[in-house]
């Protein structure tokens, strides 16, 4: 019976929380029962004992309910409430207060609460226990008549009884809890070993499958290459090229399946070696171009000339990332084009970010699907894309591989309009050489690449060891034109026999063979008694393509590493590298052994910028600055009785003011809506990897901030900042962002600096009257008439993102202007004198020169720009308006 109760308490089917709750309540209930004994000893009345018994019984029933209903937290809270607020205070006053065992029970209550509660609830009840105990002490001291006194001997007995049982209870609870945690730890360790065994079995299975699948593909690709070497028709050559591309795509899918298991188990390792970016791109571009050609798509490739020619990294994984995204782009694009551009990013920690941008004109991705884009086995918009082949693994692998390399991948998409992926991968630069100009014109047909053997070595002897007869045949055929002497062995045992009879300069050794595997054969050749090949170069020629296998072969002392399937060029290159130099007769000079393409690359687009700064037409920037910094503006809309016009495009300020002077219609301005903003961002992302868009203050009516921010949610690389200003005040922040971008600052650095500099920009205007603000509904007509009647010339100033009426000046126009200029430039010692905008509406040249002269009397600015305010700004200010807009110097 006892064993059954104990097993019930530590039953592993229950959660740890449930088991701890049960043991704590069971032991505590037994311990609290001692209170009844203590009260009997102290001579407590039957009524008091009945109350205490009822409370303990209620606590037990609460525990039973919590266990059966699986409401452990609620049960713990009820039990803690009964103990802290009811049982212990009642016991304190009925068992002699400090002269009985009550103080010990308050200590035990703290342990009780700590064990069955957690988080904020635990803190609450611990604090409550201290407060209740303190309150009991104070009440007992100030009103001793409430305490039932006991004899001294009885008090000592009660106190010791409580102390003894509490010590026993704590020991029992902790012992059982340690046992529970120990069993849980053993169970977790057992599960960990089982999971590790399953992962090992899975990896062995995947490795075996990879080997078995790669072997026949090696035969297909090898024999297919032999076809391409022959003088066959263009049709046969094109078919063979398609077979080669399809075979390599199959290999790519196999790698995805293998890598998914490794990534999920945390066993993926990178193999970082020096590689040439041009070589890496060659095969990739060839493969994707054929697929794009089959669908009638243009495939554009643009490589920035300053990209390093050679870097150190895992080129296999980089290529895998790019193939996955490019393959997706081709699959989901019905018409139009797919583009790949490569450029340099920032240097950080001795690594240069290589930025790969892949864009397509396909169906795009819905905004609600973007968060799930990189989930494994998830295909977004499944109903629409059900006829498009795919495993759902590609993008998940992309994200995990990029993270493993310490890079970043972002996606921008507008549904039905296309998608752009930007992948940044940090790589160590090897050497100072750059790729230079790889911008060749596209040829719209596959070019036949004339095969020639890169070297001949008729005096060289080579042994190929492989248990697959097809692989032996392919290897011999691929090396046939090098005129080397080739022997073959179908097992390790055969290889050992041959190496005792003849010396081989190079041995290509398969790994996974029945009987003696390649590693064991390699060891025996090196230590073979009477063997003639202890000094031979032995190259691992295997279908095991993972980094772990490569590391294994390096540890075992192999002289090279070739992955099946292999092409003739790679096989010849590895052989030539390992043959003695005097045996090799090159047919072409090494310096001319350059990258050869079976198709030419296209360069129909300019190099993308890392960061582009964009804004709205309300920024009031001169054309020369817009062109200098290549700033794109999205126009606001101006609505009149004649129609809706694009700000500064369909309508100029002069025409609007003339229209308003003749018509009393209310003129309204509107910010670009979400759709227009999305289209604008999509267009700008075709020329930059990231966009920082600076808008009108969000607190100004018809601000474009909200719609721009909503549109930016469709893109990963668009950051929207509200300037807190309008007109050229907004423009000053745009120019500061451009300056920081030119310095190579990151998006976050620029964003932080612009937001911080918002308070330094000063935006104010002086207007002739408030008529136009009244027509726009910004001020009441009564106030507008009053200022006009009294010849008051108010100023409009930006305060906390809102345009408000500031100081009012009296007198003629020029006198008011002079006072305004003096007031606006009053704190000249803090003004940044680099740039001043005099933004105006309907002023002539003489008036502008007068304003400039008055400014010069107070402070000299290095650059002064006269900028006509945009119609969307002028509609609220009216004619004969100007403002002085500048920045204060930063303390930094």
Helices of type H across 87-233:
88-94, 102-116, 119-142, 152-229
Q: Strand 455-456 and strand 585-586: pairing? A: antiparallel
What is the pLDDT at residue 41? Answer: 60
Say whether pLDDT at 387 is over 70: no
pLDDT in tens, 277-300: 888 887 788 778 878 887 888 888
What is the pLDDT at residue 386? Answer: 41
Band of pLDDT at residue 490, cut at 50, 70 and 90? very high
The CA distance from 763 to 765, in Å, is 7
Band of pLDDT at residue 545, cut at 50, 70 and 90? low
Please state, as a whole number, how many other Cβ atoms lie within 10 Å of the Cβ of residue 264: 14
Quickly list DSSP for 730-777. Answer: HHHHHHHHHHHHHTT--HHHHHHHHHHHGGGEE-EEE-S-SHHHHHTT
Q: Strand 835-841 and strand 863-868: pairing? A: parallel
What is the pLDDT at residue 595? Answer: 33
**Cα–chain-centroid distance for residue 770?**
50
Give this prediction's pTM. Answer: 0.56
What is the pLDDT at residue 740? Answer: 93
What is the pLDDT at residue 10? Answer: 52
> Mean pLDDT, to the nearest integer, of 64-90?
79
Band of pLDDT at residue 211, cut at 50, 70 and 90? low
- Which of 261-270, 495-504, 643-652, 736-745 has the least mean pLDDT? 261-270
374 or 331, which is more confident? 331
> Mean pLDDT, to the nearest integer, of 293-321?
87
Helices of type H across 629-699:
653-662, 674-684
The CA distance from 590 to 579, in Å, is 16
Say whether pLDDT at 442 is over 70: no
Residue 347 backbone class (left: φ over 0; alpha: ψ -120 to 50; beta: rest): beta
Q: Which of 629, 647, 645 is nearest to 692 (CA)?
A: 629
What contacts 84, CB < 8 A, 6 or more positions away?
Answer: 109, 113, 125, 128, 129, 132
Q: Measure Cα distances from 775 to 642, 644, 663, 801 in Å.
A: 17, 18, 11, 22
CB 149 within 8 A of CB 99: yes
- Which of 417-421, 475-479, 606-610 has the least mean pLDDT? 606-610
- Which of 51-55, 247-251, 653-657 has the least mean pLDDT? 653-657
What is the pLDDT at residue 385? Answer: 44
What contacts 400, CB < 8 A, 6 or more positions away?
Answer: 263, 268
In three-state form (DSSP H/G/I as H, E/B as E, the rest C), the secondary structure along 317-383 is HHHHHHHHHHHHHHHCCCCCEEEEEEEEEEEECCEEEEEEEEEECCCCCCHHHHHHCCCCCCCCCHH
- Which of 7-11, 481-485, 585-589 has the least mean pLDDT? 7-11
Domains of the chain: 2-191 (no CATH), 234-429 (3.30.565.10), 455-587 (3.40.50.2300), 609-757 (3.40.50.10170), 764-887 (3.30.1180.10)
- Which of 365-379, 411-425, 636-650, 783-797 has the least mean pLDDT? 365-379
> Mean pLDDT, to the nearest integer, of 25-45?
65
Q: At 473, which helix (H) or strand (E)? A: helix 469-478
CB 372 within 8 A of CB 378: yes
What is the pLDDT at residue 7? Answer: 52
Please state, as a whole number, how many other Cβ atoms lie within 10 Å of the Cβ of residue 668: 16
Say whether pLDDT at 62 is over 80: no
How much of the chain, in percent, has pLDDT values that exceed 70? 80
> Mean pLDDT, to the nearest integer, of 303-320?
88
> Mean pLDDT, to the nearest integer, of 751-765?
91
> Mean pLDDT, to the nearest integer, of 236-248?
73
What is the pLDDT at residue 183? Answer: 79
Task: Look up residue 172 and give its two tokens.
Answer: 């029992």
469 or 777, which is more confident? 469
Q: Which of 307, 416, 387, 313 is nearest to 355 (CA)?
A: 307
**Phi/psi of residue 232, each to 5°?**
-110, 170
pLDDT in tens, 139-186: 888 888 887 766 666 667 777 777 777 787 778 777 877 777 787 788
What is the pLDDT at residue 723? Answer: 92
CB 479 within 8 A of CB 574: no
pLDDT in tens, 108-127: 788 778 877 778 888 898 89
* Coil, helix or strand at residue 506: strand
CB 773 within 8 A of CB 787: no
Say whether pLDDT at 739 is over 70: yes
What is the pLDDT at residue 46? Answer: 64
The CA distance from 342 to 302, in Å, is 6
CB 659 within 8 A of CB 696: no
CA torsion, points 510, 515, 520, 525, in degrees to nearest 10? -80
What is the pLDDT at residue 699? Answer: 86
Q: Could you give the strand order of the β-sheet that contains 485-489, starting from the edge strand earlier in sequence? A: 485-489, 461-465, 506-509, 537-542, 560-563
Q: Measure Cα distances from 598 to 143, 238, 289 in Å.
A: 101, 11, 10
> Mean pLDDT, to the nearest integer, of 179-200?
79
Q: Which of 160, 164, 166 is nearest to 106 (CA)?
A: 166
How much of the chain, in percent, has pLDDT values that exceed 90? 20
List the beta bridge partners of residue 358. 340, 421
The CA distance from 705 to 723, in Å, is 9
Say whether pLDDT at 323 is over 80: yes
Band of pLDDT at residue 687, cut at 50, 70 and 90? confident
What is the pLDDT at residue 391? Answer: 43
187 or 540, which is more confident? 540
Say whether pLDDT at 50 is over 50: yes
Say whether pLDDT at 5 is over 70: no
- Mean pLDDT over each residue of the chain, to the nearest integer: 80
Query: How wide is the angle at C-alpha 665 spanned by C-alphas 664 and 667, nearest 5°?
Result: 120
> Mean pLDDT, to the nearest integer, of 676-701?
87
- Which of 251-260, 317-326, 818-827 has the least mean pLDDT? 251-260
644 or 450, which is more confident? 644
The CA distance from 339 to 327, in Å, is 12
> Mean pLDDT, to the nearest integer, of 611-628?
91
What is the pLDDT at residue 753? Answer: 92
**Phi/psi of residue 701, each to 5°?**
-60, 140
**Cα–chain-centroid distance for residue 791?**
59
> Mean pLDDT, to the nearest integer, of 558-585?
87
The CA distance from 295 to 337, in Å, is 10
Q: Which of 370, 338, 328 is nearest to 714 (CA)?
A: 370
């Amino acid at each position: 019976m006892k064993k059954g109760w104990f097993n019930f308490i530590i039953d592993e089917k229950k959660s740890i929380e449930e088991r701890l709750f049960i043991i704590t309540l069971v032991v505590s209930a037994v311990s609290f029962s001692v209170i009844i004994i203590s009260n009997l000893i102290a001579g407590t009345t039957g009524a008091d004992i009945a109350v205490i018994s009822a409370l303990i019984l209620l606590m037990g029933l609460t525990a039973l309910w919590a266990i059966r209903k699986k409401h452990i937290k609620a049960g713990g809270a009820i039990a803690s409430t009964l103990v802290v607020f009811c049982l212990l205070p009642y016991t304190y006053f009925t068992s002699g207060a400090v002269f009985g065992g009550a103080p010990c029970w308050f200590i035990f209550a703290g342990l009780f609460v700590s064990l069955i509660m957690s988080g904020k609830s635990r803190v609450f009840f611990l604090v409550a226990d201290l407060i209740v105990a303190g309150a009991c002490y104070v009440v007992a001291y100030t009103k001793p008549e409430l305490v039932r006194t006991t004899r001294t001997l009885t008090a000592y007995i009660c106190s010791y009884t409580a102390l003894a049982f509490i010590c026993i209870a704590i020991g029992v609870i902790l012992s059982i809890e340690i046992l529970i945690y120990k069993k849980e730890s053993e169970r977790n360790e057992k599960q960990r070993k089982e999971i590790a065994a399953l992962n090992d079995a899975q990896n062995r299975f995947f490795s075996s499958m990879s080997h078995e699948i790669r072997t026949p593909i090696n035969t297909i690709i090898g024999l297919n290459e032999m076809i391409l070497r022959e003088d066959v028709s263009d049709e046969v050559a094109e078919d063979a090229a398609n077979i080669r591309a399809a075979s390599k795509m199959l290999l790519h899918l196999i790698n995805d399946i293998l890598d998914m298991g490794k990534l999920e188990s945390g066993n993926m390792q990178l193999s970082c070696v020096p590689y040439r970016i041009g070589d890496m791109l060659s095969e990739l571009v060839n493969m994707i171009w054929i697929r794009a050609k089959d669908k009638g798509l243009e495939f554009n490739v643009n490589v920035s000339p300053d990209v390093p020619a050679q870097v150190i990294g895992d080129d296999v994984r980089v290529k895998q990332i790019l193939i996955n995204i490019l393959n997706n782009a081709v699959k989901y694009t019905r018409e139009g084009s797919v583009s790949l551009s490569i450029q340099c990013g920032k240097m950080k920690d001795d690594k240069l970010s290589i930025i790969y941008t892949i864009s397509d004109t396909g169906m795009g991705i819905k905004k609600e699907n973007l968060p799930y884009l990189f989930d494994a086995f998830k295909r977004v918009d499944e109903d629409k894309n059900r006829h498009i082949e795919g495993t759902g693994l590609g993008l998940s692998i992309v994200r995990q591989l990029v993270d493993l390399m310490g890079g970043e991948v972002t996606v921008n998409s507008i549904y039905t309009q296309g998608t752009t992926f930007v992948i940044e991968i940090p790589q160590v630069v090897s050497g100072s050489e750059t790729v230079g100009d790889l911008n060749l014109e596209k040829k719209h047909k596959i070019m036949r690449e004339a095969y020639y053997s890169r070297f001949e070595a008729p005096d060289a002897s080579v042994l190929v060891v492989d248990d697959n007869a097809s692989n032996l045949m392919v290897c011999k055929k691929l090396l046939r034109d090098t005129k080397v002497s080739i022997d073959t062995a179908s097992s390790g045992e055969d290889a050992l026999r041959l190496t005792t009879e003849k010396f081989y300069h190079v041995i290509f050794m398969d790994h996974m063979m029945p009987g003696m595997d390649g590693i064991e054969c390699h060891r025996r050749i090196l230590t073979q008694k009477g063997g003639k090949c202890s000094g031979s170069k032995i190259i691992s020629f295997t279908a095991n393509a993972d980094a772990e296998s490569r590391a294994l072969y390096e540890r075992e002392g192999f002289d090279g590493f070739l992955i099946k399937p292999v092409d003739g060029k790679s096989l010849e290159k590895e052989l030539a590298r390992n043959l003695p130099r005097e045996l090799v007769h090159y047919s072409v000079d090494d310096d001319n052994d350059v990258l050869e393409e079976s198709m030419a690359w296209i360069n129909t687009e300019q190099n993308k910028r890392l960061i582009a700064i964009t804004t709205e037409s309300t920024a009031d920037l001169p054309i020369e600055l817009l062109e200098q910094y290549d700033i794109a503006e999205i126009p606001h809309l101006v609505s009149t009785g004649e129609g809706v016009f694009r700000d500064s495009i369909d309508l100029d300020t002069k025409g609007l003011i003339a229209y308003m002077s003749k018509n009393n219609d209310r003129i309204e301005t509107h910010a670009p809506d979400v759709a227009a903003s999305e289209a604008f961002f999509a267009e700008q992302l075709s020329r930059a990897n990231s966009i920082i868009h600076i808008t009108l203050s969000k607190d100004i009516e018809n601000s474009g901030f909200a719609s721009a921010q909503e549109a930016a949610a469709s893109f990963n690389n668009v950051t929207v900042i509200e300037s807190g200003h309008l007109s050229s005040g907004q423009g000053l922040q745009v120019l500061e962002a451009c300056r920081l971008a030119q310095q190579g600052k990151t998006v976050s650095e620029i964003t932080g600096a612009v937001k911080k500099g918002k308070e330094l920009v000063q935006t104010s205007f002086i207007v002739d009257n408030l008529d136009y603000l009244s027509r726009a509904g910004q001020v009441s007509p009564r106030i507008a008439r009053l200022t006009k009647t009294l010849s008051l010339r108010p100023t409009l100033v930006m305060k906390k993102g809102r345009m408000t009426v500031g100081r009012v000046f009296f007198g003629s126009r020029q006198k008011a202007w002079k006072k305004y200029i003096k007031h606006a430039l009053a704190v000249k010692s803090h003004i940044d004198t680099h740039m001043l905008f005099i933004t105006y509406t309907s002023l002539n040249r003489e008036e502008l020169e007068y304003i400039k002269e008055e400014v010069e009397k107070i402070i000299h600015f290095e650059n002064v720009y006269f900028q006509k305010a945009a119609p969307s700004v002028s509609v609220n200010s009216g004619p004969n308006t100007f403002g002085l807009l500048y920045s204060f110097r930063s303390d930094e």
